Every structure is written in C-alpha cells, then in structure tokens.
Amino acid sequence: MKKLILLILMVGASVNAQVGIGTTTPGAQLEVVGSVRFSGDLQPAGDSGLDGEVLLSNGPGVAPEWGVRFLNPGAILGVAKAVTTTMTIDPSDITTYTIADPDIQTYAVASWNWDDIVVLSGSIDDFNHVTANFINDGTEWSFRINNPTTSEFSTRLVLLIFY
C-alpha cells in the first residue's frame, strides 16, 4: 500500500512539475536561464513555418505564429524621422527643398501631407493644383514643389520617413 501511495504522489508531481535549466526556481513549465541552441526544427503547434517566414509574437499568453517579415498587416517598420518645415509657395513657381539625412537608406520611403494651409493671395481651390515630388538620392531627401497657379500659400509640410 505504501508503494502505491508513493507511486500516485510521484505521478501527480511529475504531471504538474516545472523544469528549470540554469535555475532552481522555474516560473514556467520550462524556464531556461542562458543560451539555447536548436539542432532541429522549431515547431510551435507542430508547424515549422515556410521558407522566409519568421516567428511572430502575439503577446503574452497567446501562441506565436509564422509570418512574412515586414509584410504583416498593421506592422510599421519604423518611423525614422518626422520632419516639419514651414514654407511659402510662390505663384507660378517651382521650388526645391532638401533635407540631409545621415540615416537614409536607398529603400526608404516618405509619406507627406500639408498642414496649416494659409492663403496669402488667390484661392484655396488653387491649392489642389500644387504638387510635390520626393526623391531619395541615397544622401538626402529632395522635394520639388510646383505651384502652377497665381495663388500664394504659406503652409507646413509634414514629412514622415520610413525605413
């Protein structure tokens, strides 16, 4: 009878046991303190993923998923800079501005919008004809603003640079 009780206690303890490697007080079912080296597949839920996929966390208490790096919906690579500059856009004029960027990468892209548009002369409707083109030449951002109208504007340009 003693052996049976001991066996029942041992089985119950092993079912709920926590294993620690490098620690005597594990805080999870398996806790490793130190480096881990895999010599085979890493297969969460039996899935080793596809070529080119990375393991993505879904937060605490939720299983990770395999996904394509940098193409996950809602993911932002990172906003490296948010540049705001105030300018006057003269009528019938093409103006070029440059922004030096020591962190620029050839694959970086920029998104922009106008903020606080003030009509100095003419009509706000003319502002719909103002265009801006951005160029990443690998050392700086150049943006060329074309105002083909007879109206003059003062505005802030907000430029977000993504790497």
Q: What is the pLDDT of residue 71?
A: 45
Q: Which residues pair with 133 in a beta bridge?
A: 144
Q: Name which of 158, 62, 58 is nearest 115 in CA terms.
A: 158
Question: Any idea what the Cα angle at residue 30 is, between residues 29 and 31, rounded to 5°?
Answer: 120
Rg (CA), the chain: 29
Domains defined along the chain, listed by start = 79-162 (2.60.40)
- Give 10-residue mean pLDDT values along the chain (163 residues): 60 68 87 84 81 78 74 51 77 82 73 79 86 79 85 81 70
Q: What is the pLDDT of residue 72?
A: 44
Q: What is the pLDDT of residue 43?
A: 82
